[in-house]
Chain A
Amino acid sequence: MFDRLFNPNSVAIVGASSNPEKIGYAVIKNMVESGFSGSIFPVNLNAATILKLKAYRTLKSIGMSPDIVIIAVPSAAVPEEIRNCVELKVPYAVIIPGGFSETGSEGQKLENEIRRIIAGSATRVIGPNTVGVYFPHSKVNTALTPPDRVSFPPAGSIAFVSQSGALGLLTMDSISEYGVGISAFVSLGNKLDVNEIEMLKYFSEDGNTKSIALYLEDIDQGREFYSVARNVNAIKPIVVLKSGRSEASAKAASLHTGAMASDDRVIDGMLKQGGITRAYNETELLDYARTLAYGKPFPGRNIAVITTAGGVGVITTDLISSRINGVGLSMATISRDAEERIKVEIVSFGSAKNPIDLTADGSIRAYEKVLEILMKEESVDAIVAYALPQTPKMNLEIVDAIARHVNDGKTVVVGAIGSLLAKELIVEFERRKIPAFPSIDRAVKSLKVLHDYGKYLHERGRT
């Protein structure tokens, strides 16, 4: 299921247009510019060509059944196009326009009509009210925003499924800055047919996907979602951002339990029960998906920190150890023996105790030696390693120095803070699939996520 959606040979765009004001223009522009190697069929009643591609008057006049049909016509005209898809046995239709159940009962009727049309057919529907899909591995991009307004991330390991289209686009735009790659983006829209549960099942078996980021506004099949998400999460980590937290309880709250049981508390418990990582904003959603895609989950609690800036080390220590405004893990106690060996590598006014501070004098060679020592320390479960370009001896070589040891056994999360150089560093770490973050807080929280996931797998006997 869904193989031809994610790896299509042909894509038709109904409502394709040469008019840059139209959504049908953005969609075809994105398809053309993404370098898709299959066939693209613009469908437009009045145009002979669109963006130099031969246009077809109707879907049926193409003379074959495209793997995906993108529908970019006003909502009232959509049922007719879906009927055509069903007749042509088109496997996947993506309905871009809004004007459906999100607007009220008239829109709901349209959705019901479409549901009736596809019932028992070979056609599956994504949307409506979606910004489209983007699959960098197969170079499919049907987004409704033209490429001059939004950056699309390169091919990578994170599957990103979003109920909100715009949140998906802006998040992809943001992570593109650091070259963070995704395996696929699906904007589910109103979930008339295809929903998050099916996507989880697909991505759990998708070879390109290492973790799944899920933005949801509602969950309708609660138990089914829980059981699928729990099983998938044990194989491929899932991060959920669920909005609508402040919504007042709609339950009959005659007893205490009922009064306490807000939707959000129940969802929080359900996610914890499934060992599923929870994000509270779009930054965390992709940070955690990225860490879980690249980083090694660890059940232990003892963290070592390497830094070339004392203040960064102290703040990290606070964030690691505090239960309030922190993640409540522990700072590892470095053995006397390791401490002595670290002392040899660093300047006398540095700190060989955790957090290990090489000071601004710290060279990349010394840094790597310390990292090597920590990798062999039994008392250390994971390492926060800072690559701080503001200290004079740090440069891009630190990336390879750290990369040489990320597979030595212990989890490493990198912090690279600053502007131009820091960004370059993160891009390089990203290229090597090492989770790196532009702030202390983001690095520590991402590390905590790897701990929680590792602890869950360990306790439930899945590692």
Chain B
Amino acid sequence: MNSPDLIKKLKSGPLDEYSIKAGLREFGIPVPEGMLCEVLPGKIELNFPLVLKVSDESILHKTEAGGVITGIETEEALKVQFKKMKDRFPTSRILIEEMIPDGVEIIVGVIRDRTFGLTLMLGMGGIYTELYNDVSFRLIPIDIHDASDMIEEVSIGRFIEGFRGQKVDKIELANFLLKISDLSTLMESFLDQLDLNPVKVNGKKVCVLDSKLIRKKI
């Protein structure tokens, strides 16, 4: 991983989901295997089930715009759904990704607070985040104690011992938070907001399913 190059890309490169995820992956943050395409390629080296997502910087909330199709189990279904997506968004590219089936959905985000600067958030994730009101903030950079406290503070902490078959590994999640804190510090000069939502946590596996980044207005 070459941080300066990576940061340069995040600073001035494109901000579609695929590009941000490529950056995250370079930084050692797990994202699903995927490929970005204009047309459906003949051969796909991805494991089913798959997800299709419209990849377009102008569409901030893809689900609401009908730009996400999940649970594609076969090549046949993929062809049908890809065409449907292309009909809906003829000028946009489509991201094909492996689907991460199980896990607890959390949100990890960064906001530039007007008083305190870059601030990290952890919360229960998914589309109902604002409804749960189950979040914790810390100023960036955080240390391992802060990460641990954040996990304990929100109901994600309840999954450490296991809850209804779901389990969260506290150390892995804490390390993930530290990594996002480190990455944000490197982006201090230009980062305004970062949303990793949802992030799926399944035992020791932590994976960013969707990510959005907004740069500071200069």
Query: A254, A256, A268, A270: which contacts B107 (Cβ < 8 A)?
Result: A256
Q: Which residues of A contact B150 (CB under 8 A)?
A: 269
Cα(A209)–Cα(B119), bound, Å: 32
A257 at interface, CB cutoff 8 A:
yes
Q: Which residues of A contact B195 (CB under 8 A)?
A: 255-257
Best-buried of A220, A254, A256, A273 by chain B (most CB within 10 Å): A256
B197 at interface, CB cutoff 8 A:
yes
**Number of residues in B with C-beta < 8 Å to the partner?**
34
Chain A nearest Cβ from B106, distance in angstroms: 11
A269 with B138: CB separation less than 8 A:
yes
A256 with B149: CB separation less than 8 A:
no
A256 with B119: CB separation less than 8 A:
no
B111 at interface, CB cutoff 8 A:
yes
Chain A nearest Cβ from B111, distance in angstroms: 4
Cα(A219)–Cα(B114), bound, Å: 11
Q: Which of B120-139 contact A (CB under 8 A)?
A: 121, 123, 129-130, 133, 135-139
- With A260-B123, A273-B139, A459-B145 already in contact, the answer to whether A266 and B115 are too (CB < 8 A) is yes
- With A219-B115, A266-B113 already in contact, the answer to whether A226 and B193 are too (CB < 8 A) is no
Cα(A386)–Cα(B139), bound, Å: 40
Q: Which of B162-195 contact A (CB under 8 A)?
A: 192-195
Best-buried of A226, A273, A459 by chain B (most CB within 10 Å): A273
B109 at interface, CB cutoff 8 A:
yes
A273 with B146: CB separation less than 8 A:
yes
A428 at interface, CB cutoff 8 A:
no
Cα(A258)–Cα(B197), bound, Å: 12
Residue of B nearest to A264 (CB): B137
- With A265-B135, A266-B116 already in contact, the answer to whether A273 and B214 are too (CB < 8 A) is no
Query: B116, B212, B214: which contacts A270 (Cβ < 8 A)?
Result: B116
Q: Which of A257-278 contact B (CB under 8 A)?
A: 257-261, 263, 265-270, 272-273
Q: Which of A268-325 contact B (CB under 8 A)?
A: 268-270, 272-273
B60 at interface, CB cutoff 8 A:
yes
B142 at interface, CB cutoff 8 A:
yes
Chain A nearest Cβ from B197, distance in angstroms: 5
Q: Which of A202-259 contact B (CB under 8 A)?
A: 219-220, 222-223, 226, 250-252, 254-259
A254 with B193: CB separation less than 8 A:
yes
A269 with B137: CB separation less than 8 A:
yes
- With A256-B130, A272-B138, A459-B145 already in contact, the answer to whether A222 and B116 are too (CB < 8 A) is yes
B117 at interface, CB cutoff 8 A:
yes
A254 with B115: CB separation less than 8 A:
no
Residue of A nearest to B213 (CB): A255
A52 at interface, CB cutoff 8 A:
no
Cα(A265)–Cα(B129), bound, Å: 15
Chain A nearest Cβ from B22, distance in angstroms: 20
A255 with B121: CB separation less than 8 A:
no
Q: Which residues of B contact A272 (CB under 8 A)?
A: 138, 149, 153
Q: Which residues of A contact B208 (CB under 8 A)?
A: none
Chain A nearest Cβ from B134, distance in angstroms: 10
B100 at interface, CB cutoff 8 A:
no
B96 at interface, CB cutoff 8 A:
no
Using A257-B107, A261-B121, A273-B149 as known contacts, list a sample of 15 further A-B pairs with CB atoms less than 8 Å apart, ordered by residue number in A. Answer: A254-B60, A255-B195, A255-B214, A260-B109, A260-B130, A260-B133, A260-B135, A261-B137, A265-B137, A266-B111, A266-B115, A269-B150, A272-B149, A272-B153, A273-B138
Name A's B-contacting residues (CB within 8 A).
Answer: 219-220, 222-223, 226, 250-252, 254-261, 263, 265-270, 272-273, 459-460
* Chain A to chain B contacts (Cβ below 8 Å), 23 pairs: A219-B115, A220-B115, A222-B116, A226-B116, A226-B139, A252-B192, A252-B193, A256-B107, A257-B110, A257-B111, A258-B109, A258-B111, A259-B130, A260-B123, A263-B115, A265-B135, A265-B137, A266-B115, A269-B136, A270-B137, A270-B138, A273-B139, A273-B146
